[in-house]
Structure 1
Amino acid sequence: MTDLAELYSIADNTLHDVDKDVRGRWATPITWRQPVHTLYMPADKFFTAAETLSEYTEYARQQAAMAIQEATGEQNLEAGLVEVAARVELPPATAPLAAHKLQTQPIEDIRIDLEDGFTQRAVSEGDRDADEDHYAQRAAEALAAWVEDKDPHAPSFAGIRFKSFDPLTRQRGVRTLFIVLKHLHATGTLEKLDERALRLTFPKVQSHHQVTALVRILQSLEQQWGLTRPIPFEVQVEAPQAILGANGDAEPVKIITAAQGRCLSLHYGTYDYSASLGVDAAYQSMEHPVADYAKDMLQVATTSVGVELSDGSTNRIPVGDTESVMTAWQLHTRLVNRHLARGIRQGWDLHPAQLVTRHLTTIAYFRDQWKHSAERLRDYVAGDESRWMDEPATAKAMSSYLRRAFQAGAITEEELAAYNLSLPLLEALQLTGRLSQK
């Protein structure tokens, strides 16, 4: 009769290398707070409106409130949001929560853009380097002030987007990145930052070798400055080569691997990606089939490896007459709800007025099913199988959903407590789906 110990040994020896992945890089779900959006602002436009992130937050809040007032005629923010919710076919009950969000933290994540949005159209060719140096320094100063400010209404996440490592823009991208990081280090704020708070967006990546180059640059700076913590970054996927490599490999996996644990997020770039595949401008969209294919690949690559995923943006901006604004808000509502339903928890916004439907839609999405999830999770915790027989994987998914709902401002701790649930319990369940045995 075969000894069980021998069978155990066969299985363990065969799966030794796979076990490292199962317990390691395949076992890191997103349990931390991920921003629901990223607001991208060209550096020159940002500093035309404000000098600091806190000032820009107030500017964006005012712009959003003004858009609501002009589109609805309502002076009161909450009353205006009730009208907007009705026009975009969302429950009016979301309005008070969205109003609170706009008043307390309208921007969760902001990126001062020194890449495509920073066009320098009015700057002569010979003056553009000096101009970008100027704005890179101002961005660095704004980020340093943000760390020291501790304003509870300011974004929880912030950073820059620097130019790509394509041959024509590589040196400019490195130079801008260096200016920002050097100032943050010199002021001591780089070391004070939460490891996920600073967001450095690396655009137009086509090959994992470009990521390797960035890692080596950061390693060099860390060594020179005596930093003990790696500087992380996020990668923007805007080219088909970043989805399917020339040799047929899944390039997103190689990009994440090349980042050596530094990759915070993969961001889908709607328009560069669509255009590179020959999609005509009128049909470029977050919901085009080529976009869905790319995001499917990114979603598979980021699942359970501790890397966030963000959808792209819509360039249909809610400005102009009431009909134009409402049409843009209706489109934005549909697109935000669509990527949330696909399991993509973040997207881009390009204008403060998009914050209106960003928060209305996100809150409505999570309010829609939160009680159902809370009831099932309460029964799962209690061991009650009279209505549902849920497994640990489902418990993990429901815990993740409820935590995201709380983080987005859609539910409160008091509402969770009514179902015998707490944030620490949800975090524990999200990791394993199992209750700890004492």
Structure 2
Amino acid sequence: MPAVPDLPPVPPVPPGFAAAYRAQRARFPGLSGRQPVHTVYVPADRFTAGTVAAWRDEALGLVHAHLAGPGELADVFGVPDGTAAAVHARLLAKLGREPIEDLRIDFEDGYGAPPDAVEDAHVEQAAEAVAALHAAGALPRRWGPRVKSFADGDPERSIRTLAGIVHGVAERAGGLPPGFTVTFPKVLMEDYLRQFADVLAQLEDGLGARLRFEMQVEAPQTLPFLRAELAEALDGRLAAAHFGVFDYTAALGLPPHEQRLDHPACDHARHVMQTAFAGTGVELSDGSLAASPASGRAGDVHALWRRHAELVRHSLRHGFYQGWDMHPSHLVSRFAAVYAFHLADYDAHRERVRAWEERREAGGGVMDEPATIRTLAAALRRADAALP
């Protein structure tokens, strides 16, 4: 029997590995918790304690008038007959129970730039309304303001509104209700992010709550400084990045009729966002459709729903599971499209995961890789969270 040759010594683990691994775990924690499927934007001067109920009632009214049963839903949204009944039932239940998952009180583009005294009064009004919603158990699971951008050259106004909301709600509600986040728009300079994070750190003293924010990606100038290290550099305060379709396409000089979420330029920007924040725990959200039904006639309502659902499906296919809704009619097409998307392949995904776990073939000639199974399992978790 031939002699076994001596093996060379095994090199030791590199001395820098432990530090690098700790940095990896800190930088890429992955997503945790339930991400809302949408954010509803309401101008601050129109926001009251009755806003959530008003949106619910209008959306339900539109369903009863123009989407009476599964057959109509299948026709409007192109949902298979076998799925339409489940989507329709879930849609009605959702609108009745939780029509808004994430609410943003808008003090920026949707609001304007009134005199300071007027905005201060609306801040007080908003704080009263949030406290009343919280007391009634009707405050959405996530909520907060969108303040003005530092890029406007007036950070004092932005900070004053934010402080007024935070302290005003906390005083009236006996503390800041859970789910608070603030949207920081038009981030044209990376330094603005650090400055805004410092403002939040100062505001949270005595609140007993950690304040986090979401940035808006609304200009091509923002894309170059999006990177994984950004969330870490901001002390974990960056909760999300939201895409702003209209400012972004305007900044590129696209013509008005090309300001749309499914434009290739928007796909590029969203993919940069995905690449920058993959695995970091920073949530991603798509933008909005700036349209409402042209009239109350069924044809106009259906046309709006079809276009909005088309854009929602485009976002979902590209891995953006949250978007903005700007009108009560959008709630109908949002939830209908989301539910149909998750239900379409739910059983097939579950069977493939079970087959993998049981070390058997899933059938249909499918050969799954571990990465595919992780994706399928994540899709099932996301569907379970989204479906009522």
> Normalized against structure 1, the TM-score is what?
0.80
Establish whether residue 58 from structure 1 lines up as the match of residue 53 from structure 2: yes
Q: Is contact 1:82-1:95 (8 Å) kept?
A: no
The equivalences for 1:204-223 within 5 A come to 204-222=186-204
Aligned partner of 1:104 in structure 2 is 97
Q: C-alpha separation between the residues in 2 aligned to 1:167 and 1:173?
A: 10
Shift, 1:46, TM fit: 2.2
Given the superposition, is the C-alpha separation of residues 187 and 363 from structure 1 closer, same or farther in structure 2, using an over 3 Å criterion?
same
Structure 2: gaps (5+ residues) = 1-6
Given the superposition, is the C-alpha separation of residues 391 and 24 from structure 1 closer, same or farther in structure 2, using an over 3 Å criterion?
farther
Which one-letter code corresponds to 1:18 in the other structure? Answer: A
Moved more, 13-22 or 101-110: 13-22
SS at match of 2:240: strand
Q: C-alpha separation between the residues in 2 aligned to 1:205 and 1:59?
A: 32
**In the alignment, which of 208, 223, 233 is matched to residue 213 of structure 2?**
233
Q: C-alpha separation between the residues in 2 aligned to 1:145 and 1:352?
A: 21
The equivalences for 1:36-51 within 5 A come to 36-47=37-48
Given the superposition, is the C-alpha separation of residues 68 and 228 from structure 1 closer, same or farther in structure 2, using an over 3 Å criterion?
closer
Aligned partner of 1:175 in structure 2 is 160
Shift, 1:170, TM fit: 1.9
Shift, 1:264, TM fit: 1.1
Q: C-alpha separation between the residues in 2 aligned to 1:381 and 1:206?
A: 47
> Normalized against structure 2, the TM-score is what?
0.90
The equivalences for 1:7-22 within 5 A come to 7-9=11-13, 12-13=14-15, 15-22=17-24
Identity %: 34
Which one-letter code corresponds to 2:76 in the other structure? Answer: R
Q: Any idea what the Cα deviations from partners look like across 1:373-413, whole Å, max 9, x if unmatched?
A: 11011122223246455444223222221121122126xxx
Shift, 1:162, TM fit: 0.7
Shift, 1:145, TM fit: 3.5
Establish whether residue 332 from structure 1 lines up as the match of residue 308 from structure 2: yes
Q: Any idea what the Cα deviations from partners look like across 1:283-332, whole Å, max 9, x if unmatched?
A: 10101111111100111122111110000001122241332222111111
Moved more, 268-277 or 140-149: 140-149
The equivalences for 1:145-294 within 5 A come to 145-151=132-138, 154-187=139-172, 189-190=174-175, 193-194=177-178, 197-222=179-204, 225-227=205-207, 229-244=209-224, 250-253=225-228, 255-294=230-269
Shift, 1:64, TM fit: 0.9
**In the alignment, which of 9, 24, 30 is matched to residue 26 of structure 2?**
24
Establish whether residue 138 from structure 1 lines up as the match of residue 114 from structure 2: no
Q: C-alpha separation between the residues in 2 aligned to 1:174 and 1:407?
A: 34
Aligned partner of 2:378 in structure 1 is 400
Aligned partner of 2:36 in structure 1 is 35
Q: C-alpha separation between the residues in 2 aligned to 1:167 and 1:114?
A: 13
Given the superposition, is the C-alpha separation of residues 8 and 190 from structure 1 closer, same or farther in structure 2, using an over 3 Å criterion?
farther
Structure 1: gaps (5+ residues) = 245-249, 411-438
Q: Is contact 1:139-1:160 (8 Å) kept?
A: no
**In the alignment, which of 337, 352, 355 is matched to residue 379 of structure 1?**
355
Q: Is contact 1:205-1:235 (8 Å) kept?
A: yes
Q: Is contact 1:329-1:354 (8 Å) kept?
A: yes
**In the alignment, which of 275, 281, 284 is matched to residue 309 of structure 1?**
284
Shift, 1:199, TM fit: 1.9
Which one-letter code corresponds to 2:258 in the other structure? Answer: Y
Q: C-alpha separation between the residues in 1 aligned to 2:60 and 2:330?
A: 11
Aligned partner of 1:413 in structure 2 is none
Q: C-alpha separation between the residues in 2 aligned to 1:187 and 1:331?
A: 41
Given the superposition, is the C-alpha separation of residues 82 and 105 from structure 1 closer, same or farther in structure 2, using an over 3 Å criterion?
farther
Q: Any idea what the Cα deviations from partners look like across 1:315-365, whole Å, max 9, x if unmatched?
A: 122241332222111111111011111111100010011101100000000
Q: C-alpha separation between the residues in 2 aligned to 1:171 and 1:331?
A: 39
Q: Aligned-residue CA RMSD in angstroms?
A: 2.2
SS at match of 2:332: helix
Given the superposition, is the C-alpha separation of residues 174 and 386 from structure 1 closer, same or farther in structure 2, using an over 3 Å criterion?
closer
Shift, 1:144, TM fit: 3.0
Q: Is contact 1:108-1:155 (8 Å) kept?
A: yes
Q: C-alpha separation between the residues in 2 aligned to 1:257 and 1:117?
A: 31
Which one-letter code corresponds to 1:295 in the other structure? Answer: R
Which one-letter code corresponds to 1:107 in the other structure? Answer: I
